[in-house]
Amino acid sequence: MAEPILEARRRHHIWTPDPKRSWITLQDVVAWVYLYPVRWLSRLIPVNALLWLADRAADPYARLRKTRMETVTRRMTDMFKGHTPPATPEIMAREFIRRDVRKGVDDLVMSRLDLEELGKRATITGMEHLDNALADGKGVIVISAHFHANRLAKYYLRRIGYPLMSIRNRMPGNTATGRFGKRFVVPAYGRFLNDIVEDETHTQDKGLGAKLLQRLRENGIVNVHIDAAISSEWFWVPFLNEERPFAGGFLRIAELTGTPLVPMQCLGNTSGFEIIFDPPIRYTGKSEPEEFTGRLMSMVGLLESWILAHPTHWELWARPMKRKKKP
């Protein structure tokens, strides 16, 4: 009976000890400090002072996370071969760490900014594209990428009347997390994010597909990251000097329901952020395999263009995309 029980635990992401993991890691310590003493103390500090402190803490944090810096630098070097980066990998990696630190502080302070204050810091381009897609009455799938300003952008959009349902992994895998982090820190961080995002469903939820379809039938908005690992169907396509597996589930839904896809970029931070919507992409009817792959490749090409234009905004340099074995 032991094996079926363990399999059920894995399937529902109930924590089980993993003897191969360290009991506690630097990642666990940093995350615990952020969730508890830092989060509590941040409530006592004025927002602008906290943002100033975050900007000053970025360089010391980068030195503390030397291995992380080296990993980001190496990945940027490899993936920018054949492209013209806006700066050297070392400079971009340091800027990436600054944005990473600022995102963590933004998560703490965005709820303390009222709508008027957020509006002063926000710039939205192409909102007519989202309204145009909603006018179809079939819901909208907003496609985006793991950029640092995503949660801030969705937090603001919800408050101006455009709530986006997010899809998130309740227990994301991370090789840098120890047993302490997996057992205590990851679930606590998930609850913290849930309070920020408010409207989300999880990849582990039963009936995930039905929830998404219901939201679309209500002419609601669902947000899907192109670089997310959410699908039972994978396609290998070229991406930044590699061939990577990408999930095609969101594209299948768009084809079968006629739901328009609206690309969205989110840039910046709580000092000033920009939300950019592109014109809707509409597909109708299930495509043949070759055509489907071509359509997905165009989505991945869009993702690649965003990363090449704004490399330090992409979170997955330090948290790599899920890998699968190529069949």
**What is the percent of the chain where pLDDT is above 90?**
63
How many of the other CB atoms lie within 10 Å of CB of 193? 16
Tell me the per-residue pLDDT of 145-193, one tens digit each, with 9 for 90 and over. Answer: 999 999 999 999 999 999 999 998 776 666 678 888 888 998 898 889 8
Tell me the per-residue pLDDT of 28-75, one tens digit each, with 9 for 90 and over. Answer: 998 999 999 999 999 999 999 999 999 999 889 888 888 889 999 999
Tell me the per-residue pLDDT of 215-246, one tens digit each, with 9 for 90 and over. Answer: 999 999 999 999 987 766 789 999 998 899 99
Residue 253 carries which side chain, given as an amino acid letter?
A: I
Residue 5: what pLDDT? 36
Yes or no: say if 167 and 199 are a contact pair by the CB < 8 Å rule: no
Average pLDDT value for residue range 20-24:
81
**Would you state the structure tokens that stand for residue 277, as one six-digit string?**
């919507």
**Would you state the structure tokens that stand for residue 51, as one six-digit string?**
């943002």
Residue 326: what pLDDT? 64
Tell me the per-residue pLDDT of 278-300, one tens digit each, with 9 for 90 and over. Answer: 999 999 888 999 999 999 999 99
Instruction: Spell out the residues 6+ positions from residue 212 whose beta carbon is closer than 8 angstroms to its own.
Output: 165, 167, 201, 222, 253
Yes or no: say if 252 and 235 are a contact pair by the CB < 8 Å rule: no
